[in-house]
Amino acid sequence: MPSRIQSALDSAGVQASRIEWLWWLMFWVCTAVFVAVVVALGMAVWRGRSADPERPSEATLMRGVAMATAATIVILIGLLVASVATGRAIGSPPQADPLTVQITGYQWWWSVEYVYPQPNLRFTTANELHLPVGRPILFKLRGADVIHSFWVPNLHGKTDLIPGRENTTWLQIDKPGIYRGQCAEFCGAQHAHMALVVVAESSDDFERWVVAQREPAPAPTTPAQSRGLNVIERGPCALCHTIRGTTAGARTAPDLTHFASRSTIAAGTLPNTPGYLAGWISDPQHVKPGSRMPPTGLSGEDLQAVLAYMETLK
Amino acid sequence: MRIAGAVLLSMFVSGCEREARRYQELPVGATRAEGVRQTMLQPGEPQEMPRVLSPYQENAWGMAEGKRLFTVFNCVGCHANGGGGIGPALSDDKWIYGAAPQQIYSTIVEGRANGMPSFGGRVPDQQVWQLVAYIQSLSGLVPKDAAPSRNDDMSVNKPELRVERLTPKQTGHR
């Protein structure tokens, strides 16, 4: 679960802090303009069209209008310059040695692949990213079905995931923490339940996590766990899900190899606890109507076995 | 001696199960065996099969899901996009194992000799029926207002709703 409020005004990264600075600049400038306009309007109303014989001349009035117009132009150009400068600063490509992460948006979850030049070092997970603090991270973004948008407000602005093309964005995180992101482009019935969790941690913790993620799933040790794996491999689960190290190898649904190490299920919809997981597996359509996962119709014993096995997927 | 005789007798009695003649196994009024027919070749006058429709026969969402599953469950691996390849074409009017929804259902669930794998226990019922409705749409056997209208990507095929309705012919395997 996130440790910080999901907000662009609680920035934790290089890009996000610039966006936050721009946001506050616009906020205070607009507030000042608003106050000035309201005060001027109030004064005009209060004074009224009095019968004062010494009304200011036409030239004086024109000077006032010209000054207000000039001030408006200067302020707008100033904001434009600030906006372009911010865009340039956050849009420039990463320096040397970026970590490359490929994110693919599906209805309604995120597939996350960590891309390394050596193919055997690559690995895939879903709906939860771990990222190192203080290192540039390059994101390659794709949509699998419809347009989605990748947005972790504490870290960066939005970038769309579009079917048939690859968008890139990059960011760098300053502060360790757990941040919540979500799809920011309406993408269908469960758009609201398409969240992701970003765990920002030190380089050492991140490398440890990477090494653990590259491992295949551990072999089952108890009879219940063996039965659970059997149900997964021979039942409906394996038709869509991957668990590396087993015969389940389909790529239509989230990779479950290290499922128990993730904090949420169903793309940030529910906390990852055995109770919620049992409810989810029995009837996903009750939790997330429209989700691509069908009711599996497992018997009680099979369900318990599957739960016992999935707890081992650390 | 007497005990041995009793044992021998009990063995004969238990062996009588083999000789039992159950002249009336089913209660009166039980239905005649009438499963899903693979063929319309029948003794005597051909009888119609009871018509079972896919719940998604007239449902656009269900057929769209069927279309998606047709790819992700790798039906396309053998049947291509309906035109056939390793497996027979599904967009023509020839049906080896029957064009009725319950026949397509059992072809998917049971599998068929000559290469069609059995997906029973793998694909949940709901998704089988979605596939059934989509497969029917490939040869125009569903209402046009519900059939999928266009592909998300480039395709050489006509969209399913523009497919002319073909009258199914039972061909059997060559």
Instruction: Say yes or no for a CB contact (<8 Å) between A295 and B122.
Output: no
Instruction: Please give the average per-residue pLDDT across B125-136, as a whole number.
Output: 93
CA distance A233 to B113: 24
Q: Please name the residue of chain B whose CA is at the shortest distance from the CA of residue A238.
A: B122
Q: By mean pLDDT, which of A289-293, B17-21, B110-114 is the weakest? A: B17-21
Report strand pairing: A109-115 vs A123-126: antiparallel
Asked if residues A128 and A135 have their Cβ atoms less than 8 Å apart, the reply is: no
| Residue of B65, B69, B155 to mutate for A, most A C-beta atoms under 10 A | B69
Give the CA-trace dihedral at A275, A240, B133, A145, to 10 degrees. Answer: 100
Residues 57-86 of B with CB under 8 A from A: 72-73
Q: Please name the residue of chain B whose CA is at the shortest distance from the CA of residue A297.
A: B124
* Length, in residues, of chain A: 314
Q: What is the mean pLDDT of chain B?
A: 84
Q: Which two tokens stand for residue A154?
A: 């504490």
* Three state DSSP letters for A119-167: HHHCEEEECEEEEECCCCEEEEEEECCCCEEEECCCCCCCEEECECCCE
What percent of chain A has pLDDT above 70? 97
Which ipTM did the prediction report?
Answer: 0.82
Asked if residues A285 and A291 have their Cβ atoms less than 8 Å apart, the reply is: yes
Is pLDDT of B51 > 90? Answer: no
A249 touches chain B (CB under 8 A): no
pLDDT digits (tens), chain A, 314 positions: 567 788 989 999 989 999 999 999 999 999 999 999 999 999 988 887 766 667 777 888 899 899 999 999 999 999 999 999 999 988 877 667 889 999 999 999 999 999 999 999 999 999 999 999 989 999 999 999 999 999 999 999 999 999 999 999 999 999 999 999 999 999 999 999 999 999 999 999 999 999 999 999 999 999 999 999 999 999 899 999 999 999 999 989 999 999 999 999 999 999 999 999 999 999 999 999 999 999 888 899 999 999 999 999 98
Distance, in angstroms, between B91 CA and closest chain A CA? 25
Kindly list the residues from chain A whose CB atom is less than 8 angstroms away from the CB atom of residue B152: 145, 163
What's residue A175's pLDDT? 92
Distance, in angstroms, between A165 CA and closest chain B CA? 12
Three-class SS of residue B6?
Answer: helix
| Residue of B61, B70, B109, B122 to mutate for A, most A C-beta atoms under 10 A | B122
A289 touches chain B (CB under 8 A): no
Instruction: Say yes or no for a CB contact (<8 Å) between A163 and B72.
Output: no
What percent of chain B has pLDDT above 70? 89
Q: Please name the residue of chain B whose CA is at the shortest distance from the CA of residue A144.
A: B152
A145 touches chain B (CB under 8 A): yes
B15 touches chain A (CB under 8 A): no
- CB atoms under 10 Å from CB of A84, counted, come to 10
A245 touches chain B (CB under 8 A): no
What's residue A121's pLDDT? 94
B126 touches chain A (CB under 8 A): yes
* pTM: predicted TM-score of the whole model, two decimal places: 0.84
What's residue A313's pLDDT? 93
Sorted by where each begins, the domain ranges of chain A are: 1-47+58-202, 223-310
Question: For helices B60-72 and B125-137, what crossing angle results, to 10°?
Answer: 100
Just give the CATH number of A1-47+58-202.
2.60.40.420
- CB atoms under 10 Å from CB of A151, counted, come to 19
Is pLDDT of B14 > 80? Answer: no
Kindly list the residues from chain A whose CB atom is less than 8 angstroms away from the CB atom of residue B125: 297
Distance, in angstroms, between A314 CA and closest chain B CA? 26
Just give the CATH number of B60-150.
1.10.760.10
Just give the CATH number of A223-310.
2.60.40.420
Q: Which two tokens stand for residue A241?
A: 């899900």
What's residue A113's pLDDT? 96
What's residue A94's pLDDT? 66
Is pLDDT of B158 > 70? Answer: yes
Instruction: Say yes or no for a CB contact (<8 Å) between B124 and A295.
Output: yes
3-state helix, strand, coil in chain A (%, to 5): 40, 20, 40
| Partner residue opposite A236 with nearest CB, options B123, B152, B153 | B123
Sorted by where each begins, the domain ranges of chain B are: 60-150
Report strand pairing: A159-161 vs A148-151: antiparallel
Instruction: Say yes or no for a CB contact (<8 Å) between A145 and B126.
Output: no
Chains A, B: CB contacts under 8 A, how many?
26
